Structure 1
Amino acid sequence: MTSTASTVERAFRVSLYDDTDTGLDTGASLLAADPAADAELTRRGEDFVAAAWQRGWQPADVVRLVRRELTDPHVLLAAGLIRTQAGRDRPRGRRWAAQLEDLPEHSIPGVDRFTHATTVLELYRLLLRLPALEPLDEAPPRQGRRDQPASRMLTRVRALLAKAEATGFPEEAEALSAKAQELMARHSIDEALLAAQAPAPDAPGACRVGVEPPYEQAKAVLLDAVARANHCRAVWNEPFAFSAVVGFEADLEAVELLYTSLLVQATRAMAKAEAAQRAGGRKRTKTFRQSFLAAYAHRVGDRLAAAAETQVTQDLLPVLATREVAVTGRMERMFPETTTTRLRGVSDEAGWEEGVRAADQAQVRARPRLG
């Protein structure tokens, strides 16, 4: 073992397997005193990142957890390690590449060697203790699949939803949302029919969608409602602030887009309703917001479920039924034991009423009638 590797090993022994500040300070002091160990320290960090991938984690999952548990310098350090490790990683799918593109790019502010070493060891402590997650390996693209037109379509959908969320005119928001939903539905129909005609149709995949606090229970319920309306299933992982969504690729795209749009609409409507409450003499309260989002999720779920019953023509039922069986089977294999999420802490009548009103006004027509 070289002297630099020995320094890293000694620092790891006293800090990574010891939760005390004393162990952390000792390890950081060893690393700060040996600049020649920096390259080995970085290489070991890349190994921790690669081990996280083997345990089912993806770049966005790691960044989300680091941001929640640690600080901005840790996030930037993790992003740098992920980028560097990607250069020697195996080929990954489209979603993985998109997560790499979304990594934060700001440089780490200059600090003294001891402070930097402390940050590194704190991050490595977290990476070392990541548990195994259900793998979300992306299937290879179907032979002859045209990804470029689909990508252009999804770019158009995102642009339309962004405009719908930004406009202050309800009629314009309605028209923009309807167009975006029409494009999503058309894409899903084409994908379903193509899969039914192919000799070896695509299997359902899965992705993770961040469900961040506060009020994460209501957000998870909203995501579940959107997933079910789009022929997908969602399973919430509360400790790590995400839901795993299982479904076919076109439907997964629709879920991500519609959930994000509805969450933006809910946040804007909640701020407006809360301002009206304050104007009436009421102070801002956590119970109002929690009740608002709970009611919003519940009501949007009802609207999506009702719409789903009238959107499918008889000739498409066998195709969609086959895909639903495949999605349910994949979900049950990934998550053999699941429990139902029940909303807690909903006690504000005004918040509930305002949430229902906002949900009734939200644009939720993710799929016009199919066929």
Structure 2
Amino acid sequence: MPDAEELVADALAAVRGTDVRQTERQLDRLMVGTGAADGATAVDAALARRLVRGLGRLWPRGWQPVDVHRIVRRRLDAGAARLVRDALAAQRREQAEPVPAWWDDQLRVLAAEGRDAAGQGSSASQGSKPARGRDLDAEVLAAWTAAEGLDRVDALRAAVDVLALVESLPPIAVLRPPPGSTGAALPRAAGTTRSGSPMLDRVRALLAKAESTTFPAEAEALTGKAQELIARHSIDEALLAAGTERGDVPSGVRLGVETPYAGAKALLVQEVAAANRCEAIWSDDLGFTTVLGWPADLVAVELLYTSLLVQATAAMLRGRAERRPGSGRRTKVWDESFLNAFALRIGERLRTATDAATEAAGQTEAGADRLLPVLAARGEAVRERLETLFPGVTRHRLSVRDAEGWSSGTSAADRASLDVGGGSTPRQVPGRP
């Protein structure tokens, strides 16, 4: 009888092929196992070990835990993503090399999402490193199977699908030094800051109130204050960095851009990014947009995009309900035109606000003679980073297919609160028509 590793390899090869009957035969063999008394445990352990190894090989290729979790959920399902989350925790327990703090932050976020969804702890969690052995490897798959309520046939099929996807992921841009890396030639001030800043805590509180209020005037006042705070913070960070020898370079963050209307959502990211002196590249087949910029500006983009997407979706649903029966084109075309118009109009408003904040800062203690060269140099550094990481970037134009949806989306953007201010070949998202 073949050993467990051979059975797993044969099942993977069959899943990657086009012969459905061969795939079923190999999955049946995986179900039978090695024929030994502990054959099922051996198969579970082999699957888990190969999945953990596969994850480990992704980190030098640019992938991060949240990226893998997102694409597995997008291409497979939420249950498959939960298996990846548990395998990530197992892989973390094995890591002997230095692990950056942001890495553990991502794992904690994923674990918290799992607890929130299930109302309890995940089947595998980050902790001290236990003794390694086949039983522990098998435990990852067994615990996940029980938590998902799957029978063994469905669990093995799903696990092989996850493994096939993980091993097929292409290299992407390395935005942050992975575990064990010295970080040479990579951003030292990498990524965005999610917590720990009193200013950001104030901004988040203002945005939460702005999104929940039913009074437009109150929302504008709240978000105007948030814009003022974040814009001033960005300028202060730029001036501080210019006066030190820190040697930082622009960093990056990936924002999920999901269907439906992924193109319109990617356009919203690009407009928000441009208003905050960042560059955005949409990788449509991978389901995310990469935003390159300086840390304080990346914070602004992430907060703005998240809040404005909520506002745009709510406004779209209201506008859809207000349409006259039988008017315009079908709903999908109207929705897409609405969201595209919303994104472009919001971008104009944000750029106006950013310009005003920059002009005001230049008239204070900073002085335009000092501030503008600093901002120009930082903008050039971001563009250089873009050219280094995405040398083959392409552009495509935006098409408008529903005038009514476009007009309604523009009006909705005018009414929206401004929350904050100032695989295949990746591409920058659509420009103006």
2:194 and 2:150 map into 1 onto residues whose CA distance is 44
1:29 and 1:22 map into 2 onto residues whose CA distance is 11
Deviations 1:136-161 (A, max 9, x none): 1154459xxxx898534323322321
- Confirm or deny: 8 A CA contact 2:307 2:419 kept in the other structure: no
Give the structure 2 partner of residue 30 of structure 1.
Answer: 29
- CA-CA distance at 1:257 after TM superposition: 0.4
Give the structure 2 partner of residue 101 of structure 1.
Answer: 108
- Confirm or deny: 8 A CA contact 1:208 1:244 kept in the other structure: yes
SS of 2:396's equivalent in the other structure is coil
Change (3 A) 1:323 1:121: same
2:195 and 2:286 map into 1 onto residues whose CA distance is 34
- Confirm or deny: 8 A CA contact 1:16 1:124 kept in the other structure: no
AA of the residue aligned to 2:301: V
Match of 2:57 among 43, 47, 51: 51
SS of 1:263's equivalent in the other structure is helix
1:148 and 1:131 map into 2 onto residues whose CA distance is 28
SS of 2:421's equivalent in the other structure is coil
- Confirm or deny: 8 A CA contact 2:266 2:282 kept in the other structure: yes
Give the structure 2 partner of residue 76 of structure 1.
Answer: 82
Change (3 A) 1:222 1:216: same
- CA-CA distance at 1:323 after TM superposition: 0.9
Segments of structure 1 that go 5 or more residues without pairing to the other structure are none
SS of 1:255's equivalent in the other structure is helix
Give the structure 1 partner of residue 410 of structure 2.
Answer: 356
Deviations 1:74-109 (A, max 9, x none): 121112112221223344445443432232424642
- Confirm or deny: 8 A CA contact 1:278 1:284 kept in the other structure: no
Segments of structure 2 that go 5 or more residues without pairing to the other structure are 34-39, 119-143, 178-186, 363-367, 423-433
SS of 2:398's equivalent in the other structure is coil
Match of 1:327 among 382, 389, 392: 382
Deviations 1:296-336 (A, max 9, x none): 11211222233333332213111111111111111110111
Q: Which moved more, 1:301-310 or 1:176-185?
A: 301-310
SS of 2:323's equivalent in the other structure is helix
- CA-CA distance at 1:283 after TM superposition: 8.9
Give the structure 1 partner of residue 318 of structure 2.
Answer: 272
Q: Which moved more, 1:241-250 or 1:305-314?
A: 305-314
AA of the residue aligned to 2:4: T
AA of the residue aligned to 1:134: A
Identity score, percent: 43
- CA-CA distance at 1:239 after TM superposition: 1.1
Match of 1:169 among 192, 215, 223: 215
- Confirm or deny: 8 A CA contact 1:307 1:365 kept in the other structure: no
- CA-CA distance at 1:8 after TM superposition: 3.0
1:340 and 1:148 map into 2 onto residues whose CA distance is 31
Give the structure 1 partner of residue 134 of structure 2.
Answer: none
Deviations 1:243-301 (A, max 9, x none): 11111111101100011111111111111111111579779711111111111112112
1:298 and 1:97 map into 2 onto residues whose CA distance is 36
Q: Which moved more, 1:227-236 or 1:277-286?
A: 277-286
- Confirm or deny: 8 A CA contact 2:188 2:249 kept in the other structure: no
Aligned pair count? 362
1:184 and 1:233 map into 2 onto residues whose CA distance is 18
TM-score (norm 1): 0.89
Give the structure 1 partner of residue 3 of structure 2.
Answer: 3
Change (3 A) 1:241 1:9: closer
Give the structure 1 partner of residue 150 of structure 2.
Answer: 111
RMSD: 2.6
1:317 and 1:246 map into 2 onto residues whose CA distance is 20
Change (3 A) 1:55 1:229: same
Are 1:131 and 2:137 matched, yes or no? no
TM-score (norm 2): 0.77
SS of 1:43's equivalent in the other structure is helix
Change (3 A) 1:162 1:70: same
2:23 and 2:197 map into 1 onto residues whose CA distance is 46
1:31 and 1:272 map into 2 onto residues whose CA distance is 51
Are 1:181 and 2:227 matched, yes or no? yes
